[in-house]
């Protein structure tokens, strides 16, 4: 699990350390997100729950995370997405927010970190797989597409 924790640490840094001095930040972020997604895909469906009762994780400050991300990636903002890509008769565009996507991912990963430190490895891995399947996976996919779209605009 050291690899997973290292990947999480790299991604969380974007939301807790303002103005990180990293060359080619967008590429570094894409690599970390893809590595995280790969870790998730290797776990999917093969995760146990330790069935212990643990205290609730602290409420990580979404606004502070979002503001820190803004200092690291000021270009991340709103984008259009297709609400139902399979409705070819009447496509409906929605509005997404890449800063919000990354903020949600980081907030979820901060809870995974907290669980590794305060509950058990089994619980932390179970939560990682659960939160990726039910929340973060969509944000990762949207964010990777947005980063690619930004790259193509330059």
Whether residue 96 contacts residue 81, with contact meaning beta carbons closer than 8 Å, is answered with yes
- What are the tokens at 5? 């924790």
pLDDT value of residue 2: 77
- What are the tokens at 63? 């606004």
Query: Which of these, 72, 62, 52, 56, lies nearest to 10 by C-alpha position?
Result: 72
How many domains is the chain built from? 1
Strand partners, 82: 93
Domain of residue 141, CATH code: 1.20.120.1550
What is the domain range of residue 119?
2-83+92-153
Single pTM value for the model:
0.92
**Would you write out the chain's pLDDT as a tens digit for each of its 154 residues?**
679 999 999 999 999 999 999 999 999 999 999 999 999 999 867 788 888 999 999 999 999 999 999 999 999 999 988 777 787 777 778 889 999 999 999 999 999 999 999 999 999 999 999 999 999 999 999 999 999 999 888 7
pLDDT value of residue 1: 64
- Phi/psi for 44 (5° steps) reads -45, 125
């Amino acid at each position: 699990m050291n690899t997973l924790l290292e990947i999480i640490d790299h991604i969380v840094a974007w939301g807790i350390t303002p103005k990180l001095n990293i060359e080619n930040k967008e590429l570094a972020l894409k690599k970390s997100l893809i590595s995280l997604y790969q870790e998730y895909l290797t776990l999917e469906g093969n995760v146990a729950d330790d069935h212990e009762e643990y205290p609730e994780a602290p409420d990580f400050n979404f606004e502070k995370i979002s503001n820190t991300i803004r200092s690291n990636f000021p270009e991340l903002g709103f984008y259009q997405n297709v609400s139902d890509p399979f409705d070819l008769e009447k496509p409906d565009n929605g509005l997404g927010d890449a800063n919000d996507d990354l903020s949600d991912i980081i907030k979820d990963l901060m809870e995974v970190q907290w669980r590794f430190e305060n509950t058990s490895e089994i619980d932390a891995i179970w939560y990682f797989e659960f939160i990726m399947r039910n929340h973060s996976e969509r944000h990762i996919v949207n964010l990777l597409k947005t980063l690619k779209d930004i790259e193509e605009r330059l």
